Structure 1
Amino acid sequence: MTKLTRESLVSRLFNDPKNYPYGFSRSGDFSINESKALSQYGVLIAALVDGEISPSTPEDENFLAAAFGKQDPQSIAEKAWVKYQKRINRPKMGSIYGSHKTSIEIDGESTGEDDDISIELDEE
């Protein structure tokens, strides 16, 4: 197993295929500079936040402080990381159609759980 160093982490490009399958620059969530900074420093910041490496420079300590909300982000990389975390951890939107299962009738038998749903309107 190779030892993680700051230089080896900065040389890797950060990507998130689950949340940003087409990349940060094509998502519309980040500016060009933010997407470049996130790609360049994302692996390093993620390793610092996860505790895989310890901070070795004042810049690393600033990354950690901004990531944990102890100080306002100053650099573009810090701002991009905080924005990235807010985007991937935002609550998922609910469906406008509700959460009930639909019932499907096959050969005269209903297969849904919500067979007896009725809607009552208050008439004034």
Structure 2
Amino acid sequence: MAESFITAHRFFDNKNYPRGFSRHGDFTIKEAQLLERLGYAFNELDLGKREPATEEEKLFLDVCRGEREPVTEAEKVWSKYINRIRRPKRFHTLSGGKPQVDAVEDFNDSDD
């Protein structure tokens, strides 16, 4: 049987993880290593740029399409990665943005 997720490319996501997967805190060292080693193949399969060559890759695609829950280590780490990069970013700011209007000032309780 052919080996799954064969790739000669390392996977990096400089947009979401500019310092690498292991330094960000979202992934364990083992998960980060798996993403770097096989993430390029995971991404190609997920985007439809590569056809699944093995049963494992076909099952992986079912997870990517939301047709089944992740079971293998590869499926779990890719699902975790996708959920992290697709979640809305929360940010906190001390200045800037729209001034907040005090609700009491806008409320007029007269019957004129």
For residues 120 and 67 of structure 1, do their structure 2 counterparts lie closer, same or farther at Cα, with a shift above 3 Å needed?
closer
Question: In 2, Cα distance between the equivalents of 1:38 and 1:75?
Answer: 14
Bigger-Rg structure (1/2)? 1
Q: Which residue is equivalent to 1:57?
A: 54
Report how many aligned residue pairs link the two structures.
100
**TM-score when scaled to structure 1?**
0.69
1:78 aligns with 2:75: yes
Per-residue displacement from partner, 1:46-95 (whole Å, max 9, x unpaired)? 11111111111011112211122211112212111100111111112254
Mapping of residues 1-124 of structure 1, within 5 Å: 7=6, 10-95=7-92, 99-100=97-98, 119-121=102-104
More helix by share: 2
Work out the percentage of aligned pairs sharing the same amino acid: 38
Aligned residue in 2 for 1:105: none
Say whether the 8 Å CA contact 1:33–1:76 is kept in structure 2.
Answer: no
Quickly say closer, same or farther: Cα 1:55–1:118, change in 2 above 3 A.
closer
* Corresponding residue number in structure 2 for 1:104: none
Would the alpha carbon gap of residues 17 and 119 (structure 1) be closer, same or farther in structure 2, given more than 3 Å must change?
same
* Higher relative contact order (Cα pairs below 8 Å, separated by 6+ residues): 2
Q: CA RMSD in A?
A: 2.3
Q: CA deviation at 1:99?
A: 3.3
Moved over 2 A (4+): 94-99, 117-122
Structure 1's 74 and 118: CA in aligned 2 closer, same or farther, altered over 3 A?
Answer: closer
Q: Secondary structure at the match of 2:63?
A: helix
Structure 2: stretches of 5+ with no match in the other structure? 106-112
Which is further off, 36-45 or 90-99? 90-99
Q: TM-score, normalised by structure 2?
A: 0.76
